[in-house]
Amino acid sequence: MKNREIKKRKKRKRGRPRAPSPPDFTLLQTTRIVIHIVSRIFDVTPAEIRQPSRGTARVALARQVAMYLTHIACGLSYSDTARLFSRDRTTVAYACAKIEDRRDDPQFDEALTHSERAALCLMTATVNQEH
């Protein structure tokens, strides 16, 4: 009798823990578009932006801009943006804060505004082609 009671008390974990869901295909396309735009502006390759290490200062800034644009233009949370860039959400938050601070520079702000518009236009065109 005691064995039955012990077995009843123990809760069984069924199945494996759930892995995070894969990013939506449209989000992956959007990220590729943003990375492509930013890589052209900063004269770095998309592979450099995606690399796991920090890289040079120019590459790090380009990655921060790409994360910022993905967060702002797509309206994604820090966590979703971080997953798309294989980073931590605090890294995305830091990048967004840094880029917001740099927007005080009129030239940087103008370049970022044009990048946002280009990303939004390309994302809209991509979504419209799918429908």
DSSP string, 92-128: HHHHHHHHHHHTTSHHHHHHHHHHHHHHHHHHHHHHH
Of 128, 125, 124, 119, the residue nearest 34 (C-alpha) = 119
Total-model pTM? 0.76
Average pLDDT, the chain: 81
64: number of CA atoms within 13 Å, CB side? 21
Q: How many CB atoms lie within 10 A of CB 93?
A: 16
Kindly tell me if the per-residue pLDDT of 11 is higher than 60.
no
Residues 38, 115 contacting (CB under 8 angstroms):
yes
What's residue 9's pLDDT?
Answer: 52
Sequence letter at residue 19: A
Is residue 119 a contact partner of residue 31, using CB atoms and an 8 Å limit?
no
Length of the chain: 131
Q: What CATH code is assigned to 24-124?
A: 1.10.1750.10
Its sign, for the CA torsion 95, 40, 29, 123, is positive
More confident residue, 115 or 131: 115
- The CA distance from 50 to 68, in Å, is 14
- Looking at residue 85, its pLDDT comes to 92
Q: How far apart are CA 27 and CA 74, in angstroms?
A: 8
Over 50: is that where the pLDDT of 17 sits? Answer: no
| Residues 43-65 pLDDT 10s | 999 999 999 888 899 999 999 99
Most confident listed range (21-25, 58-62, 120-124):
58-62
How large is the average pLDDT for residues 96-110? 94
In the chain, domain spans: 24-124
